[in-house]
Amino acid sequence: MALKKGEEVTLEIESAAFRGKGVAKVDGLAVFVYGTAPGDVVKARIIKKKKNYREAKLLEVLEPSKDRITPKCQHANVCGGCSWQHVPYAKQLEYKGQQVADHITRLGGLSDTTVHPAMGSESEFYYRNKMEYSFSNRRWLTREEINREEFVDDSGFAAGMHAPGRFDKILNLNECHLQRKESFEILDFVRNYCVQHDIPPFDAMKHEGFMRHLMIRNSFHTDDFMINLVTYQDDQELINKLSDELLEKFPIITTIVNNINDTKSPTSIGRIEKVIHGPGYIVDKIGEHTFKIHPNAFFQTNTAQAERLYETARQFADLKDGEIVYDLYCGVGTLSLFMSQKAKKVLGIELVDVAVENARFNAKENNVGNVSFIKGDMKDVFTQEMVDKFGAPDLLITDPPRAGMHPDVVKRLKELKVPKLVYVSCDSSTMARDLKELAEVYDILEVQPVDMFPQTYHVEAVAKLRLK
In the predicted model, is pLDDT for residue 145 greater than 70? no
> Domain containing 259: what range?
130-293
Q: What average pLDDT does the segment 422-449 reach?
A: 97
In the predicted model, is pLDDT for residue 272 greater than 70? yes
Q: What average pLDDT does the segment 22-48 reach?
A: 92
- Torsion sign over Cα 36, 38, 41, 47: positive
One domain, residues 432 and 307: yes
CATH code assigned at 346: 3.40.50.150
> Among the three residues 244, 276, 293, which one is the final residue of a domain in this structure?
293
One domain, residues 319 and 275: no
Give the confidence band of 282 by pLDDT, cuts at 50, 70, 90.
Answer: very high
One domain, residues 59 and 150: no
CATH code assigned at 196: 2.40.50.1070
One domain, residues 36 and 162: no
In the predicted model, is pLDDT for residue 308 greater than 60? yes
Catalytic residue among 82, 194, 330, 426: 426
> Among the three residues 272, 293, 314, which one is the final residue of a domain in this structure?
293
Give the confidence band of 152 by pLDDT, cuts at 50, 70, 90.
Answer: low
Give pLDDT, residue 274: 96
One domain, residues 217 and 260: yes
One domain, residues 135 and 221: yes
In the predicted model, is pLDDT for residue 316 greater than 80? yes
Give pLDDT, residue 380: 85
Q: Is residue 81 part of a domain?
A: no
Give the confidence band of 326 by pLDDT, cuts at 50, 70, 90.
Answer: very high
In the predicted model, is pLDDT for residue 422 greater than 60? yes
Give pLDDT, residue 78: 82
Q: Which of the residue ranges 14-28, 218-232, 250-264, 366-380 would you say has the lowest mean pLDDT?
A: 14-28
Q: What average pLDDT does the segment 97-120 reach?
A: 96
Give the confidence band of 167 by pLDDT, cuts at 50, 70, 90.
Answer: low
One domain, residues 213 and 272: yes
> Among the three residues 241, 274, 293, which one is the final residue of a domain in this structure?
293
73 has catalytic annotation: no
Angle at CA of residue 61, ends 55 and 66, nearest 5°: 110
One domain, residues 456 and 328: yes
Q: Which of the residue ranges 199-203, 420-424, 445-449 would you say has the lowest mean pLDDT?
A: 199-203
Q: Is residue 79 part of a domain?
A: no
Return the top range by mean pLDDT from 53-57, 139-143, 235-239, 414-418: 235-239
In the predicted model, is pLDDT for residue 384 greater than 90? no
One domain, residues 186 and 313: no
CATH code assigned at 48: 2.40.50.140
Q: Is residue 209 part of a domain?
A: yes
Mean pLDDT of the chain: 92
As for how many domains the chain has, the answer is: 3
The whole-model pTM stands at 0.90
In the predicted model, is pLDDT for residue 181 greater than 70? yes
Give the confidence band of 122 by pLDDT, cuts at 50, 70, 90.
Answer: very high
One domain, residues 111 and 178: no
One domain, residues 251 and 274: yes
pLDDT in tens, 90-108: 999 999 999 999 999 999 9
* Best CA proximity match to 278, nearest among 357, 328, 231, 223: 223
Q: Is residue 83 part of a domain?
A: no
One domain, residues 115 and 139: no
- Residue with the larger pLDDT of the pair 20 and 284: 284
Q: Is residue 320 part of a domain?
A: yes
Q: Which of the residue ranges 213-227, 354-368, 438-452 would you say has the lowest mean pLDDT?
A: 354-368
